[in-house]
Each structure stands twice: as structure tokens, then as C-alpha cells.
Amino acid sequence: MGKNLIIVESPAKARTIKNFLGKDYEVIASKGHIRDLPKSSFGIKIEEDRFIPQYRVDKDHSDITKKLKELAKKADQVYIATDEDREGEAIGYHIAHAIGKDPQELPRIVFHEITKSAIKKALENPRTIDMNRVNAQQARRLLDRIVGYKLSPLLASKIQRGLSAGRVQSAALKLVVDREREIKAFKPQEYWTIDALFNDTIDASLFEFEGKKLQKMDIKTKTQAQNIVQKVKNEPFVVAKIEKKKRVSKSPAPFMTSTLQQAASTQLGFSPKKTMMIAQKLYEGVQTPKGVTGVITYMRTDSLNIAKEAQEAALELIEQKFGKEYLPPKPKTYATKSKGAQEAHEAIRPTMLDFTPQIAKEYLSPDELKLYRLIYNRFLASQMADALFETQTIYFKSPSSTFKATGRKLIFDGFYRVLGTEDKDKLLPELKEGEEAKLTKIEAHQHFTEPPPRYTEASLIKTLESLGIGRPSTYAPTIALLQARNYIELEKKAIKPTDIAFTVIEVLEKHFPEIVDSSFTAKMEEELDEIAEAKKDWQKVLKEFYDPFIELIEKGKKEIKSLKVAQPIGRNCPECGAELVKRKGRFGEFIACSGFPKCRYTEQMEEEAPKSEETCDKCGAPMVVKRGPRGEFLACSAYPKCKNTKPLAKNEPKKLDVKCPECGGEILERFSRRGKFYGCGNYPECTFISKFEPVDRKCEECGYMMAKRTYRNKDIYECIKCKHKEDA
């Protein structure tokens, strides 16, 4: 008698499921898609307005396909157990075809978590492969092949080799390029604020002057600010009004793919790609006290649903661990904002609440533990009571002005009991309305408006999600692809477009505006959702896109001017004697033989270094400006005979206005391989050092010097010694 055969896509998943089932079951992995469009040709046959994909089993999957066929012949029953999303549905469809079975006849089992109970329940309730989901995936695959196969070669022929375009990647790249354009076009504007200290302890800001409520940019000049200070500083003040209000801080929703990637980026420093790789391991199975099992639910989801049993278990644990006051009045549910929440999944949550982060520490790697703790605590917090704050506002009034001081205190910590909070209580003293207030200090501070920040991986994913570009499975691969194509670079977590990105986007904006239009890309995603819901025909969607797109391709071949202008450099090729020319490549300019492709000689461009007025103090040759990892410096033009170098005058260390807290010496801005830092000018006698810029402010906890930094997208002061944090 044959065994039952369960086919999944991942070997790790196969091993975990095998542990749960007896000897009557064989579990094997297809190792991803075993059939796909061919790599070397277009792979789509178009006949009478129908798009017929020419799927092939690739060489890498020929052995596993053969093995699957043999096992399927011997098996009593074959189950498809691939992931429950469009991609998983399509993999199951292709597996069925590859082993010679009708996809509609094979039982399909689905589960959100890889645990023993979930697998057994799935086997008791099989369904058939959902062809609507398969067709939605096929439509996406064919759309991406049409754009990639037709548009990428056009860009390569008109701009430079190695370029690519895609429905989602090009729309995402335009967002990055548009942000950089905003930054370059930005002109800072000056504005001033007036800050005061009352009764020696209460910080307040000017809120109203001469009957007018002040907005951020109302005080534009130093003269205007000084006039206000002069008028106000000798006026008497009273406590005009005291307000106390209760403010609820709502518990956060559990994670879905996009919010997990954002939180892992900002809190753990993980790239989206790394986050998904670790989450995949936690989902497919890790060692636990109960053996190998999946410890989180499926990680590609845009749903915020929670299974009733999981919610009940969470509420039971919260009451047991923290008390009844931490339970919400009624169980919490969260609405999914995404238009295309097409996959009926759960949110990302732990599968076993008794596998706490404390226990997990003994079984998981450090990075696995960090991500698991993030998921575990977020899920628990999502089911807890809201936190409650009391906000305090005091208005100090003089004949011409009103100053406003704000404070708050945490009355009930609620979900913060699990997540913790960096916000310290800022308590205001008890005052009475009508009593006099002493103006201890008043100062005007100059500010300049700042350009919008560059996207980080986290903020780009948030924007893609809000615009409806892509879906949970595409965020991380899109950013990874833009990096691989040399379209973007990461500078201290900020995404910066390269020169070639501007060129590509400019060409696409002019000749293929819909490809880079976020609303068009989002509309296409909605159509794919409608195919999955049987509301649209996938062939019709392909036809409506293909015809106008191909017209633009043909038009582009004629109208797009080639940017591949080869400039002669006045030298001949040392290998064939033909003229050498300057060309643009994927990684910048280079010199190549004009006889290409017969002669493939190339050499790197040597940038001409700008001359300096200084001469070398060792050999007398002119000095030139060079750029190194720490910025520009002067080098002898006689290199390599003379290797003398010296710093540029403009690169001398910048001195801060504050003194070293250890010895009273100068604090200098310095640079190392790891970036900018601040150190004492009396080094090595004094070893004071700070990663962030020190400021003239003492820590409330230990009295040491504080530094200004950005933490979780917020400006704060942080003690250099004890790390105590305060709002800036």
C-alpha cells in the first residue's frame, strides 16, 4: 500500500511537517517554482488576442520533477500544501501539471501556521486549487515579462547596457528620484522662535503676540524676534489659564508584512530582505521545547485578522500575567486599510504564547530572537488595554503676549507594560490661575526650514503601501532589485538615486508615463485583485495593457534619441590601432575601442584631479586635490615618485561651541571609517568621545553632558554617559 504524498515548496517546511505526521505520509519540497517562463526568450505566444504562456521546467528543477512524478505514481493520495497566497497557489498549479495531474483534481491543503494542530486540521478540510488566484498570478507574471522583455532592451539600446524597467520597480524608482529633485530644488527659509523660562523651572514658547496666534513661520527675521523680546522681557506675567485633559494612546495593531519590515528597519536595523529571510525561518520551523515547529504565522500578509483561539489565549495570558485592568473592555479587532487585502490570512503573530522570548533565547539565533521578540510583544500589546495620559497646559499672559508650557504624565501604562516607552513624564508644577509668574529668561532662536528627508527602506515601503504599489511579497524584492541594478545607493540608511536613475526616469516620464505613474500601477494591482476575486478576465486585462504599450515601444524605437554618444579621446587602441572613445557604462564612464565588438579593449577613466595653489613641501611639484574615504585632501602630483599628502584647509576639524566635560578642552568634529564622531582636542591625554553632537545641556538623571540625535524619527537629547533620553 502506497503512502500519502504531501508536496510543499520549501525543504525546511517539508522537514517540519514531516515531524508532525506518521509513517503513512511522505513530505517533499519542489524547491520553489518548478515551471516558469523561459529565461532566454519572450515565452508568451499571442494568438487571436489570447496570451499563452510557454512554461518550461528549468534545468535546476528537472531532477526534483522526475522524483515528484515517481512518488506521485506510487502514492495513494497527493496533497498540494504550498503557501496560501497567489504565488503558492500558482506553484501548486505548476506542480500538478509537472507531475501529469489535473490541478482541479488534487486536494489542496492550506494553513496559516506550521504547527501540528494546524496541519492535521488542514488535512481534514482539503479544498481544490483556486484558479482565480492562479490566473491573478499568471497575469502578474505575464505583465512583468511584457514590460521587462520589451522595455528593458530599449533602455539598454538607447542609454547603456544592463538597464532594466518594470511595473513596480520603475514606479518605486520615480518616487525616490522625485524626492531627490525636491531636495535639490529646496531653498531654506529663515524663521525664529521665542522661548522663555518661568519661575526658574518651566519651559514655555511664545504662543500669541499682540492678539495674533503665531504659526511656525510668522517670525521671519532677527530684528522682528529681537523687537518682541525687548517688548516682552520687562512685562509682568500671570498664570492666565491651566488645562488638564485625559488622552488615550491606543494599542497598536499586530504586524502585517509592511509594518513588520518598517519596525524591523527602524528598531533593529534589518533590511527588508533580511527581515523576510528570518521571518521565513521562524514560519517554516525552528527548534523549540516541543520539537521543530513554526513559531509565527505566515509572514506575507496584508491582513490584520486574528484567529479567535489565538485572541482568547492572548487575553488569558494578559489577565494571568498583568491583571484584569490590562484587559480591554472588549476583544480588539483591527481593520485592514489596504485596498488589496486579497489574501485571507491572519496578521503575523506567534503560534505558541508559551514559547516566550525568554524561553526562545535558548533556541533561536540572536537575530531570530530579536525579530521573534518584536512579533511576540507587538501581538500581545495589540490585545491589551489602551494607555492613558494626562496632558497639562499652562498659559502665561502679559499685556502683549501669551506663552504656552506643556507637560504630561502617564496615568495608566496599558500596552506600554509590554512594549515599554521612551517618553518620560514631563510634569509641570501645581500653579493657580491668576497668580503672578516670574519671567526668568527669554531668548530668540534662529531656525531654517529643512528639505524633505530622503526615503529610508522603511519609509519607502510605507509610501508604496499607502499608494497601493505592489503587494506584501514585492516590497523587499523591489528595493533589492533597485540596488542590484545600481539605481539606488544606501547612505546611512537613506536611499539616494544614482545619476543613471535620473536618466532612466526622465526617458520613462517622457515616453512611457504610465509605467512610472503610481496611480496607474496601483490601478493595475486592483485589477489583479479583481481577477483573484473572479470579477475580471485575466486575458482581457493583459490585452488592454499590451496593445497601447507595444505601440509606445515601437514609437520609442524611432523617437528616443540615443544617449550612447561615443566621444573620441585622441588616442588609438593599443591592441588593434582603432580610435579609443569615451563611453557610458552601468558603473560610470570608461574608455573603449571604437572597433567593438571585434576588439573588446577597455580601460578605466582616470579623473583629472583639480590643481591646488600649493606646492609639495617635499619635492616642489604642484599639489592636486584628491578624494578619499574621509573626503578631499591634497596629494603630490608627482605620485608615485612622491607620496606626500596633507589635509585641505577647509577639512580642518570643526570646533564646537561647547567644552569637553572631562578636561574643559575643545571638542572637535572628526571622521573615521565608521563615520562622523566628536572627540576632545586634547587626545590622547583626554579620551572623551561621543557618537552624537554634544550640546550645552545637562542630564536630569546624572548631570553629565547631553548630545542631540534622532531616535525613532524624533529629535531627542541623550546623555552621553547614562543614555537617559529627553524630548528636544
Cell digits for 86?
497567489
Paired sense of beta strands 4-8 and 25-29, if any: parallel
Question: What is the Cα gyration radius of the chain?
Answer: 32
Q: Which of 298, 372, 376, 546 is catalytic?
A: 298
Q: Is 237 in contact with 437 (CB distance < 8 Å)?
A: yes
Locate the DSSP E strands across 309-386: none
Buried/exposed code over 626-649 (b: 16+ C-beta within 10 A; e: otherwise): beeeeeebbbbbbeeeeeeeeeee
Using an 8 Å Cβ cutoff, are 219 and 194 in contact? yes
The β-bridge partners of 497 are 488
Q: What whole-number distance in Å separates Cα of residue 65 and Cα of residue 71? A: 10
365 to 281, 290, 316: CA distances (angstroms): 11, 17, 29
Contact 680, 665 (CB under 8 A): yes
What cell numbers appear for 463 in the block?
509610501
Query: Is 298 tagged catalytic?
Result: yes
Please give the biggest Cα pair distance in the chain: 99
**HSE toward the beta carbon, residue 709, CA cutoff 13 A:** 18
The residues that bridge with 44 in the sheet, in sequence order, are: 53
Phi, psi torsion values for 612, nearest 5 degrees: -110, 160
Which stretches of 116-166 are DSSP H helices? 116-124, 131-158
| Residues 575, 596: Cα–Cα separation, whole Å | 12
| DSSP character string of 406-464 | EEEEEEE-TTHHHH---PPPBPPP---TT-EE-EEEEEEEEEE--PPPPPBHHHHHHHH
Cα torsion at 222, 223, 229, 235 (round to 10°)? -170
Q: Cα–Cα distance between 371 and 296 in angstroms, integer? A: 10
Q: What grid cell was written down for 162? A: 544592463
Rounded to the nearest 5 percent, the helix, strand and coil shares of the chain are: 35, 30, 40
**Residues paired with residue 396 on neighbouring β-strands, in sequence order:** 239, 403
3-state secondary structure 602-622: EEECCCCCCEEEEECCCCCCE
Give the residue carrying C-alpha cell 525561518. Answer: 281
Q: How many other C-beta atoms can be found within 10 angstroms of the C-beta atom of residue 467?
A: 16
The vertex-524 CA angle with 518 and 554, nearest 5°, equals 85
**Beta strand pairing status for 579-585 and 588-593?**
antiparallel
Establish whether the linkage from the previous residue to 597 is cis, with ω within 30° of 0: yes
- Shortest CA distance to 209 belongs to which of 446, 398, 439, 433? 398
Question: What amino acid positions are annotated as catalytic residues?
Answer: 298
